[in-house]
Chain A
Amino acid sequence: AQSVTQPDIHITVSEGASLELRCNYSYGATPYLFWYVQSPGQGLQLLLKYFSGDTLVQGIKGFEAEFKRSQSSFNLRKPSVHWSDAAEYFCAVGTTDSWGKLQFGAGTQVVVTP
């Protein structure tokens, strides 16, 4: 069975600084990988996804993620954080035999300080 680990429960970053959120997965084949963002009391917004091909994926709001098969990782990055990036971020993994069905990581809460 697949699993997703987000090692950092909480990250505080200064506005304008860079941000990296870690995600590690466990799955026997090439997974489908996603990053979602959730603001308090809101639904999920897809930031980016990886299915195949180029391992560096560009998403919305200036985010990017890199798939590293050797490290079973799919870390999310943003070069310069804005106050509006404060939210909960979820990494999720799907499988080729049941795509659309996702397993989510525990989430990382991002706090942005002035």
Chain B
Amino acid sequence: GAVVSQHPSRVICKSGTSVKIECRSLDFQATTMFWYRQFPKQSLMLMATSNEGSKATYEQGVEKDKFLINHASLTLSTLTVTSAHPEDSSFYICSARPTPGQGKSEAFFGQGTRLTVV
């Protein structure tokens, strides 16, 4: 199988603080990972594409200085929500796209992180 581990699964933080969310591909390498956000009772919206060794590509309307993405290795991407506010409370989900040559033809999702900013 192909497993993507996302950590933490739940986090509560105070307004104004920063929170880091990790997305790891456990049994495959992923040059590219994707970060999505899902507000309650809504669909998933792509926030950004994370590329190993280069800058992330952000979707229109997503603040790159607020949502810092680092893809430091072929198995790990992190999303840091900086100076979090209550409106950032959401469900964040990552997916990892296997590097070609590993016999996998789809991206695999983590289990998501429920962020609550109080």
Contact = CB atoms under 8 A, between A and B. Distances in A.
Interface string B101-112: 000011101111
A99 B97 contact: yes
Interface in A74-114: 90, 99-107
A43 B36 CA distance: 11
A43 B109 contact: yes
Interface size class of A (residues with CB under 8 A): 10 to 19
A33 B111 CA distance: 21
Contacts, number: 51
Interface residues of B, number: 21
Interface stretch (A11-19, A44-52, A59-67): A44-52
Given A99-B97, A100-B95, A101-B34, A43 B111 contact: yes
A44 B97 contact: no
A37 to B, nearest CB: 12
Given A41-B114, A43-B112, A102 B107 contact: yes
Contacts of A104: 36, 43-45
A42 B6 CA distance: 12
6 contacts: A36-B109, A42-B111, A49-B106, A100-B34, A101-B34, A101-B107
Interface of B: 6, 32, 34, 36, 42-46, 49, 93, 95, 97, 105-107, 109-112, 114
Given A34-B106, A51-B105, A100-B34, 5 more contacts: A43-B109, A44-B109, A102-B34, A104-B45, A105-B43
Interface of A: 34, 36, 41-44, 46, 49, 51, 90, 99-107
